[in-house]
Structure 1
Amino acid sequence: MLTPQQPLGSGFGAATTTDEVMTGIDLSGKTAIVTGGYSGLGRETARVLRAAGARVIVPARDLSRAREALAGMDVEIAPMDLLDPTSIDAFAASFLESTPALHILVNSAAIMAVPELTRDARGYEYQFATNHLGHFQLTTRLLPTLRNANGARVVSVSSIGHRYSPVFLDDPHFEHRQYIPLAGYGQSKTANILFAVALDQREKAHGVRAFSLHPGAIADTGLGKYIPLEHRVAAGVIDEQGKPVRDPARQLKTIGQGAATQVWCATSQQLNSLGGVYCENVDVAPVMKEQPEKIDMADAMRLTGVVPYAIDPASADDLWELSERLLNW
């Protein structure tokens, strides 16, 4: 039975912080992996999980940058590049050999709105390859340890940007259509949501539950570095001096507020026996009844909910099969 895509009435809200979510939660004896854990939302997630007692591992492409960013936080750093299948397999193999159970996997790393069509060594579009395929490979490789946890959570950090595009299963790499940076990003974020739907259905019998979420618009994470300054000002994300605008009611959040939803998805007992749902503002999100024909960044700040195409079980299965083919499994 599918978990209803409707708010629970969690008692939290858009201004809730990670520390508020984690009040009273003890993760001693638990192990967590956080991709993107050395910057922005991922770093904040790693911080609070470690503070609650979890052993935290952060895979990193740039090891020196990760060591500098995580200095003093008592987390482990290991090499891995989401665009390099060999490095993903090596990281997973090493983890499987050393650790019997993985309780929390937060797939937080992402790139956004790459201005020019860029492909990886396999010919795959960068955003789809990084944001979806890399995390798909990592998660599925780690399934034995997730199953061994007897109650694991996999959290995919998606975005309100999923509204920019469905997944084009017949052309995910823009080989036969015009490349638009936000469409590429939106497609990858829709893929994150569909992956959570499919993973939850496949693995809930093994005690593995999956969630996806929109963290909010957090101007100081660096994710939006490719968005022109004037566009971010027009959307109200930053002011004319380039400073972040804080207004949780419009999803304009601090890093602590932005990471609260993914931390809640990873740890909250309110979600026990639930899964496969898209969350925002530290609750399960509603379904968006109508998708506007055109969405600009300012509109996106005011909208809430998930678009139906992003939680469609049949599309989720189709994406799973496509992902396996693209990885030559």
Structure 2
Amino acid sequence: MRKIAFIAGCLAATSAHAQSTGIPWVNGRILTAPMLQSLDQAKMNINSLGKPGFAPQLNALGQITNPVVGDVSQAKATTDGQTVAEVAKKADNAVQQANIGVKNGVAPLDAQGRIDAPVVGDVSQARATTDGKTVSQIGQMASGSMQQSEKNAPNGVAGLDASGAYAGVLSGNVRSGGSDTGTDISAANLSASMTGAQASAAITTIQAAVINPSWSSFSPQLLFGGGNAGQMLSCPTASYLTLGNIVHLWMQCSLIYKGTSTGYSTISGVPFNAVGQAPFSMDIRSTGIASDGTQVTASIQADTITIYKSINNSGSKSVATDADFENAASFTIDGWYPKEEN
């Protein structure tokens, strides 16, 4: 203890002596001349702060106030920690306010988030209706529609009143039965000013031509393999009528002698060809055809009626031939079919 007290006393005395004599003393050490020179060289004049070649100057908040030319890309730029590089990247992709709604800029949106600018690009697949129809679909519908301006206009369409009736003036001819029966009703005087007598006469004409049409005759021929050599056929009834493009055909025929021709049975000489290439069924009632009791059917296709017999009543059928007809066979055929337009 005495030694420690002695050493402490010596140090205190030395420090007091150094201070009284002006010798530099720092933390219990006397500063030598070389040490003082190093400190003098390391110190910086406060007037040099912020000057080129010296330390940057800080403000009262400890922030650098001098321009920075080094890499600050990773420096925090926002309060949420985004770096300068991240903010700069977003700025590169940002749309300037001055570029909104101007040529070569971007389109503005309204309060509902919809484009509020003219569109000249392709919008054909954009939804145009609440049920999902696209602009292209609406365009197709419109292109195939009649415009209001075409109603009651030349080469347009006839306008109807509230009851669905045509209230305009008729012109030209009203034809019943088409070009084949040749019953024309002049419509020149069929207007709102028609007298009672004229209307009655027109109705009578229409009834005669449409409601009670007249029958016309035709001459059917029964063929076997396309021929009827030596055949004797009587068809006292062979008539037809037409309503529009529909033909009603009716024939009653009886064989006296079927002749010597052989092959498949067909009937030619129908008044009008059936439309298309599809067969249309006809009713047939017969005696002396396939007299073994198999079912007999008939159909018209184009300009020919073909008679069939069922195969063992199985639902399948084959064309009847001359061998299926007795010499005294008879048949009645009638039915409706659509005729081919001229």
TM category (shorter chain) comes to under 0.3
Normalized per residue, the structure richer in strand is 2
Normalized per residue, the structure richer in helix is 1
Q: In terms of Rg, which structure is larger?
A: 2
Q: Whose RCO is larger (CA < 8 A, sep 6+)?
A: 1
TM score, norm. by length of structure 2: 0.18
TM score, norm. by length of structure 1: 0.19
